Amino acid sequence: MVKRRVFDEAFKEMAVELSYVKGSIQEAARELDIDPGRISKWRQRHKKKRSNVACQYHTY
C-alpha cells in the first residue's frame, strides 16, 4: 500500500513560487518530484486567495 504524501502550506507556497521563477510548472514539478497537476491546482488556489485579499482592501 502506497502512503499518501501530505504537503504543508509553506511547501505549497514554495512550489508555486518556484514554478513562477522557473517559468514552468513541469520544471518545478520535476525538481520537487511531484505531479505537475498538484502545482497547477496550488497556483489556482494561490491566485484565488490573492484576489480575495485584494477585494478585502478595496475601498468603495
- Domains of the chain by residue range: 11-56
Structure confidence at residue 29 (pLDDT): 98
Given a cut of 70, the residues of the chain with pLDDT beneath it are 53-60
CA distances from 53 to 16, 23, 27, 50 (A): 18, 24, 29, 5
- Which residues, 6 or more positions from 5, have their beta carbon under 8 angstroms from its beta carbon? 34
Cell digits of residue 2: 502506497
